[in-house]
């Protein structure tokens, strides 16, 4: 049996994933968590083969959570589910230790295939992502400004671009307001932008958000 641990803050998403997995005779959901704190606590005493991890939860989420989970259980295979398109964020999650990445828009169609691939071969890569990994060692002269952001800066950039305020972001990521302000300043400096409106336009123009 392939033992699966589901981590997502939306109950309806968890139930939907369980319904899909239940149709496979060799899959079993052994645990679920609604946030990063619960996931980190439960994984310490849960025997599972693969974790389905939502990267966009309130509180502890993103690549920091992924890295912490790998520290707690290095052999854990993690399939990341994200609202962000594959070409915008997937490479970073793989470098942080993920075994695969699925955009939620396509997750339902590829979920079972991805889980089986990870269980048998240790990693699931789409053709596009495989090409990105293959050529990642080559410097990209046409690198876009946001690609120079750190993982945390990129995460906060997405939230700012979506219209969230600094206080709300601080609460969601469990950071101080001053820390988020500092990240905001760094982001503006690196992207050569002046305000949140310009940041939103930048994100839309580069297809980072809808």
Query: Could you say which architecture CATH assigns to the domain 145-205?
Result: Orthogonal Bundle (1.10)
User: What is the predicted pLDDT for the residue at 139?
Assistant: 46
List the domain boundaries for the chain: 2-135, 145-205
pTM comes to 0.75
Answer whether 2-135 and 145-205 agree in fold: no
Measured from the Cβ of residue 173, the count of other Cβ atoms closer than 10 Å reads 21
What are the pLDDT tens digits along the chain (210 aa)? Answer: 999 999 999 999 999 999 999 999 999 999 999 998 999 999 999 999 999 999 888 777 778 888 899 999 999 999 999 887 776 678 888 888 899 998 887 767 789 999 999 999 888 887 767 766 666 544 454 677 888 888 888 889 988 998 999 999 898 888 899 999 999 999 999 999 999 999 999 988 887 776
User: Could you tell me which residues are beta bridge partners of residue 77?
Assistant: 50
Q: What distance in Å separates the CA atoms of residue 98 and residue 94, rounded to the nearest whole number? A: 5
Residues 2-135: name the CATH superfamily: Response regulator (3.40.50.2300)
How far apart CA 162 and CA 208 sit, in angstroms, is 10
Q: Is residue 84 within 8 Å of 39, Cβ to Cβ?
A: no
Q: DSSP states of 85-139 as a string?
A: -HHHHHHHHHHTT-SEEEEHHHHHHHHHHHHHHHHHHS----HHHHHHHHHTTS-
Supply the Cα-derived Rg of the chain in whole angstroms.
17
Nearest to 34 by CA among 44, 22, 25, 42: 42
| Alpha-helical runs (H) found in the chain | 11-22, 36-43, 62-72, 86-95, 104-121, 127-135, 151-161, 166-173, 177-191, 196-205
């Amino acid at each position: 049996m392939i033992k699966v641990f589901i981590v997502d803050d939306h109950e309806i998403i968890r139930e939907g994933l369980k319904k899909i997995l239940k149709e496979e005779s060799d899959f079993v959901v052994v645990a679920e968590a609604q946030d990063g704190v619960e996931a980190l606590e439960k994984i310490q005493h849960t025997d599972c083969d693969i974790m389905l991890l939502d990267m966009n939860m309130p509180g502890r989420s993103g690549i920091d959570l992924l890295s912490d989970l790998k520290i707690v259980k290095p052999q854990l295979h993690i399939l990341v589910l994200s609202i962000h398109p594959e070409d915008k964020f997937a490479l970073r999650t793989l470098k942080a230790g993920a075994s695969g990445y699925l955009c939620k828009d396509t997750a339902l169609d590829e979920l079972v295939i991805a889980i089986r691939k990870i269980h048998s071969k240790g990693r699931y890569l789409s053709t596009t992502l495989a090409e990105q990994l293959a050529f990642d060692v080559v410097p990209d002269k046409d690198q876009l400004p946001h690609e120079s952001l750190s993982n945390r800066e990129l995460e906060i950039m997405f939230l700012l671009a979506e219209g969230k305020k600094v206080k709300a972001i601080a609460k969601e990521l469990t950071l101080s307001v001053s820390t988020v302000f500092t990240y905001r300043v760094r982001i503006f400096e690196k992207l050569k932008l002046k305000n949140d409106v310009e940041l939103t336009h930048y994100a839309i123009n580069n297809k980072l958000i809808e």
